[in-house]
Structure 1
Amino acid sequence: MLERILIVCIGNICRSPSAQALMKEALSRGNRTVKIDSAGLAAQVGLPMEPTARAVLLEHRHRPPEHKACQLNRAMLQQADLVLVMERRHIGSIYRIAPEARGKTFLLGKWQDEAEIQDPFRRDRTAFEQAYRQIRTAVEAWAVRLGH
């Protein structure tokens, strides 16, 4: 049974906390409680969610998480039942940290022809909007496949 989902990006201030918020909303429609966390491969530890990423969530009527960026570690990967990443290269990084994460680590965009979600950090607002749309579509597809 799926109890813990971990969503990973690089800095843990844009994409993964956005995906975490959207996944919590999507899975809350079901009857089960799934714990959803996020972390970064090179996290900007302690920072809140990036302001533009937060604003985009708010504008689309979502509730951004109370968030402090945290660094990914092996224990997080071992405890997760499903690990979702934004880019293919993140999968290799995860396997180097925890080889046992094979078989439970996938692209968030898996159901969109293995789509990667590019990092909008330090880019213009349109990059954040694009990342949001891709994340929303990917999360909805995962929610369907997870039975929510």
Structure 2
Amino acid sequence: MDQGKTRVLFVCMGNICRSPAAECVMRTLVAKAGRSAQVEIGSAGTIGMHAGELPDARMRAAALKRGYALTSRARKFTAEDFAAYDLILTMDEENRRNVLALAKTEEDRARVRAFCEFCERHDDEEVPDPYYGGPQGFEHVLDLLEDGCRGILESLRERK
């Protein structure tokens, strides 16, 4: 791994709603902070069902209203991601269990954190999956992602 960069991976189930939105929110905050050269950001899902697809159209529309253009393509999380990323952030407990099931070492497990640990304004313990809900679910997810990504960026500042 490149010692000059911190690599952050966001993980949800299908990599079409929460994690690609988190990736874009984080990328935007990192760019605004002038840290793009120091932070690499990606996203993945615990299932491969949507591999190669753009994020969900409803999430793209909600994010675009806030100035985020979601363009990443879905991919499945793999055991190799433990070596490629310093911080692996899961959106809910099921995602966390699925990611940890692929961990081979304590070092791998130590890279995995719950996304909501970094939220400062919201008390949610998980980022809910908005896929089967209405528009308000996507807005709530984006509120959580903006909050948590600010907290992550602050924690990265403290590391350096």
TM-based fold match above 0.5: yes
Q: Deviations over 1:5-27 (max 9, x none)?
A: 11100000000000000111112
One-letter amino acid of the counterpart of residue 30, structure 1: G
One-letter amino acid of the counterpart of residue 51, structure 1: A
Partner-residue secondary structure (3-state), 2:44:
strand
1:115 aligned to 2:120? Answer: no
Q: 1:23 aligns with which of 26, 30, 34?
A: 26
Partner-residue secondary structure (3-state), 1:139:
helix
One-letter amino acid of the counterpart of residue 11, structure 1: G
Partner-residue secondary structure (3-state), 1:16:
helix
Provide closer, same or farther for how the CA distance between residues 23 and 87 of structure 1 changes in structure 2, counting only shifts above 3 A. same
5+ residue gaps, structure 2, are none
Residue equivalent to 1:143: 153
5+ residue gaps, structure 1, are none
Instruction: Work out the CA distance in 1 between the residues paired with 2:109 and 2:89.
Output: 12
One-letter amino acid of the counterpart of residue 73, structure 1: T
Q: Deviations over 1:10-64 (max 9, x none)?
A: 0000000000001111122134431111000013111111011011111011232
Percent identity of equivalent pairs: 25
Measure how far apart 1:114 and its partner are.
6.7
One-letter amino acid of the counterpart of residue 48, structure 1: L
Instruction: Work out the CA distance in 2 between the residues paired with 1:119 and 1:99.
Output: 27
Conservation of the 8 A alpha-carbon contact between 1:78 and 1:98: no
What is the count of residue pairs matched by the alignment?
147
Could you say what the CA RMSD is over the residues aligned between the two structures, in angstroms? 1.7
Residue equivalent to 2:38: 33
What TM-score do the two structures reach when normalised by structure 1?
Answer: 0.91
Q: What is the correspondence of 1:119-134 to structure 2 with a 5 Å cutoff?
A: 119-134=129-144
What TM-score do the two structures reach when normalised by structure 2?
Answer: 0.84
